[in-house]
């Protein structure tokens, strides 16, 4: 009997155990089915127009405006290396780009394509969002327009950095309008890229974007309006050398914006972000909050990495041109050393200043240049003088002797007006000009002149893309 009890007991135990395991295995499959709480699954990220706007804000925030500003200055002739520079940007300044290690020159490739990626990922899901009323539909289409315009401008800047002067048959960059993690796109011809850019800009222009810049809360003009789309079109035309179109788009931008050139403090307050956002000549900017973009030039310990070049300073009439004091901080006691003042301080803190991505002044300069190229010297002079008279006290209008005189003066005016705004190197590229620095701006003659035909006028495509993409072709000279 003892024996039997034991057997019974064993059975009971076995049944209990078996039951326990079956129940727990079923329960456990669900137990380990967890979902993230702090992140959103890609499949369900865009469900409302507000979501789309938040996606747009991410793309606007990721816009590498500061990289563009920085690289254009240091690769061209806007700065010289300061004594306190511990290596910051020196490779780019010396045209010794290191594709394997990134750096800001090659780095712009990743920055712009990252924005393109954000845009394409969002556009792929864009039409999942169904607006509930007409107002929502307008907001949605506005977002689409801004995304397309951003995508176009990203590719334009990529072309200028990695493909060079306009030549429709030259090897361009991939025009990326999809988002596919498995794709290994090849470089397309410039013509194809320009086609993509123009298609996007046309589509953006046809969305119900408002004409004039729109303010987003206290951040101001961080979104893209139709005037900005027109401005980007003007840049594309300028790059292509389509002067008539450039005049038309610049004019369109100026008239749609409803803004005019600032004078006096209306102008100087731009550089401390104290300008009146509703009337300022700034049409679009990237907001900096917390991050000191000005630390690219001088860090918060006071160490100066780059200072404005002698060449740039020498372009200004120091006494009557208000831009000189607005753009530079001169320290008379320490030789003529000075600091970049465009990103020096704002109410939000030292070195925390917005990067201006489009100002009305640029449009006058584009139109002046395009009119000069079209031999409309009077029209060119009108734009040129309008800009200068709003910057220079007791200004006397100038006239141009001939087209060359006009172009040379307008290019100098671009150098003055738009320094540290991301144009200088691109101006060399699109006009096929060599970079020439005076000896006082360099420590070695090796860094003084870069011929327009030199391979280093194009940035190397980052090694990471060369390695990861078998279809990618490096620019000549970097292999």
Partner 1 sequence: MRKLVCMFMALLISSTQLMAQNRTIIGKVTDEGGAPIAGASIVAKGYQSGATTKVDGSFSILVPSAVKQLVISSIGFQSQTITIGASGEISVSLKPSISDLSDVVVTGYSRVKKSEYVGAASKIDKKAIELVPVGSFDQILQGRAPGLRVSAGSGQPGAAASVQIRGPKSISGGSTPLYIVDGVPVEASVFQSLNPNDFENVDVLKDASAAALYGSRGASGVIVVTTKRGQKGSTKLSYRPQFGLTQPGTQRFEMMNSTELLAFQELLGAKVNNSLPGWRFSRRNPANASLSAATLQSYDAILDSLRNNNTNWADVFQRQGRFQAHDLSLSGGTDRTRFFLSGSYYDEQGIGERSDLTRYTLRSNIDHSTDKLNVQFSSTVGYSERNFIESENGVALANPFAAAYLAVPYDPLFLPNGRVNVGAGKVGPNAYQRIRDILRYNNQLKATSSLNMNYDFTKNFFVGGNAGFDFRETVSTTNLTPGTFTAVGGGTPAASGQAFPSSTGFFSKGFSRFFQGTMRAFAGYRGVFGKNEEHKITFTANAEQIFQRTSSFSYTGYGINVKLPNTPAAITPGTVDNGLIPAVSGNKSERKYVSFFGVLNYSFSDLYVLDFTVRRDGASVLPEDNRFQNFWAAGFLWNTLNEKFTKNWTNFSTLRVRASYGRSANAENFPFGDFGYFPLYGSGSYAGLQTLVPSTPGNPAGQWEYTDKANLGIEFGLWKERLYGELNIYNELTKNLFISQGIPIENGAAFSSAQVNAGAMRNRGIELTLNYDVIRNREFTWTLSGNFGYNQNEITSLGQENEFPQGTSIIRVGLPLGAHYINKWAGVDAATGAPLYYTKDGKVTSVYSSADQVAEFGTFYAPWTGGFTSAFRYKGFDLSAFFNFQAKFSRFNNQDFFQLNHAFAISGYNLRKEMLTMWDKPGDITNIQSPLFQRQFSSKDIQDASYLRFRNLLIGYTLPASVLKKTKAIRGLRFYVQAQNLHTFTKWSGFDPEDNNNIAQYEYPLPRTYTVGFNLDF
How many angstroms separate the first and last alpha carbons of the chain? 90
Nearer to partner 1, 195 or 405 (CB): 195
Kindly state whether residue 467 participates in binding partner 1, applying the rule CB under 8 A: yes
Q: Is 374 in the site for partner 1 (CB under 8 A)?
A: no
Within residues 316-345, the interface with partner 1 by CB under 8 A covers: 334
- Minimal distance, residue 285 CB to partner 1, in Å: 10
Secondary structure (DSSP) of 240-252: HT-HHHHHHHHHH
Binding mask 169-208 toward partner 1 (x if CB under 8 A, else -) reads ----xx-xxxxxxxxxx-----------------------
Among residues 202, 278, 279, 300, which is the contact residue for partner 1, using CB under 8 A?
Answer: 300
User: According to the binding rule CB under 8 A, does residue 291 interact with partner 1?
Assistant: yes
Restricted to residues 113-142, the positions that interact with partner 1 (CB under 8 A) are: 113-114, 116-118, 120-121
| HEC-encoded secondary structure of 299-361 | CCCCCECEEECHHHHCCCCCCCEHHHHHHEEECHHHCCCEEECCCCEECCEECCCCEEEEEHH
Residue 478 is a binding residue for partner 1 (CB under 8 A):
no
Q: If binding is defined by CB under 8 A, does position 4 make contact with partner 1?
A: no
CA distances from 100 to 88, 345, 462 (A): 17, 34, 6
Among 7, 25, 134, 396, binds partner 1 (CB under 8 A): 25
Selected from 100, 130, 276, 401, the binder of partner 1 by CB under 8 A is: 100
Long-range CB contacts for residues 401-407, cutoff 8 Å, separation at least 24: 402/377, 403/372, 403/373, 403/375, 403/377, 406/368, 406/372, 406/377, 406/380, 406/381, 407/369, 407/372, 407/373
In whole angstroms, how close is the CB of 123 to partner 1 at the nearest point? 10
Task: Choose, by CB under 8 A, the member of 1, 7, 33, 133 that binds partner 1.
Answer: 33
Contact status: 3 vs partner 1 (CB under 8 A)? no
Task: Report how far apart, in Å, the C-alpha atoms of 31 and of each of 18, 25, 44 are.
Answer: 20, 10, 23
- Judged by CB under 8 A, does residue 42 bind partner 1? yes
Length of the chain, please? 479
Residue closest to 90 by CA, chosen among 400, 306, 404, 322: 306
CA 71 to each of CA 7, 104, 157, 430: distance values in angstroms, whole numbers, following the listed order: 84, 6, 12, 16
Candidates 87, 332, 445, 453; binder of partner 1 (CB under 8 A) is 87
Told to check if 90 binds partner 1 by CB under 8 A, we report yes
> Closest distance between partner 1 and the C-beta of residue 379, in Å?
38
92 vs 373, beta carbon nearer partner 1: 92
Least distance between partner 1 and beta carbon 180 (Å): 6
């Amino acid at each position: 009997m003892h024996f039997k009890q034991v057997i019974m007991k064993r059975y009971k135990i076995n049944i209990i155990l078996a039951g326990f395991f079956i129940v727990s295995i079923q329960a456990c499959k669900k137990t380990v089915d967890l979902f993230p709480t702090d992140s959103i699954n890609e499949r369900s990220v865009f469900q409302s127009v507000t979501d789309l706007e938040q996606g747009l804000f991410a793309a606007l925030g990721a816009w590498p405006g500061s990289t563009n500003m920085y690289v254009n200055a240091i690769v061209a002739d806007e700065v010289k290396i300061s004594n306190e520079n511990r290596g910051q940007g020196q490779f780019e300044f010396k045209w010794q780009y290191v594709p394997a290690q990134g750096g800001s020159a090659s780095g712009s490739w990743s920055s712009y394509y990252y924005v393109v990626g954000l845009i394409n990922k969002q556009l792929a899901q864009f039409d999942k969002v169904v607006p509930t009323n007409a107002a929502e539909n307008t907001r949605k289409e506005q977002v689409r327009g801004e995304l397309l315009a951003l995508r176009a401008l990203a590719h334009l800047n990529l072309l200028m950095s990695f493909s060079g002067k306009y030549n429709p048959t030259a090897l361009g960059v991939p025009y990326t309008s999809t988002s596919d993690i498995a794709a290994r796109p090849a470089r397309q011809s410039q013509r194809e890229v320009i086609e993509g850019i123009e298609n996007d800009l046309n589509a953006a222009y046809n969305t119900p974007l408002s004409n004039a810049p729109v303010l987003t809360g206290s951040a101001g003009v961080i979104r893209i309006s139709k005037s900005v789309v027109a401005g980007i079109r003007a840049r594309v035309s300028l790059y292509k050398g389509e002067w008539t179109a450039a005049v038309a788009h610049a004019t369109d931008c100026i008239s749609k914006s409803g803004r005019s050139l600032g004078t006096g403090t209306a102008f100087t307050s731009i550089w401390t972000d104290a300008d009146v956002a509703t009337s300022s000549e700034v049409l679009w900017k990237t907001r900096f909050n917390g991050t000191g973009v000005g630390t690219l030039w001088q860090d918060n310990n006071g160490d100066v990495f780059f200072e404005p070049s002698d060449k740039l300073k020498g372009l200004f009439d120091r006494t009557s041109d208000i831009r000189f004091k607005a753009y530079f901080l001169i320290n008379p006691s320490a030789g003529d050393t000075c600091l970049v003042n465009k990103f020096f301080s704002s109410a939000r803190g030292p070195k925390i200043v917005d990067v201006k991505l489009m100002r009305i002044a640029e449009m006058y300069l584009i139109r002046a240049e395009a009119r000069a190229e079209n031999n409309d010297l009077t029209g060119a002079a009108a734009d040129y003088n309008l800009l200068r008279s709003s910057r220079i006290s007791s200004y006397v209008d100038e006239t141009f002797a001939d087209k060359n005189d006009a172009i040379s003066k307008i290019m100098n005016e671009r150098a003055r007006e738009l320094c540290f705004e991301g144009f200088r190197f691109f101006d060399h590229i699109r006009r096929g000009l060599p970079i020439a620095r005076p000896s006082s701006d360099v420590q070695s003659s090796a860094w003084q002149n870069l011929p327009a035909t030199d391979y280093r006028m194009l940035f190397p495509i980052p090694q990471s893309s060369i390695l990861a993409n078998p279809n990618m072709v490096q620019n000549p000279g970097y292999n």
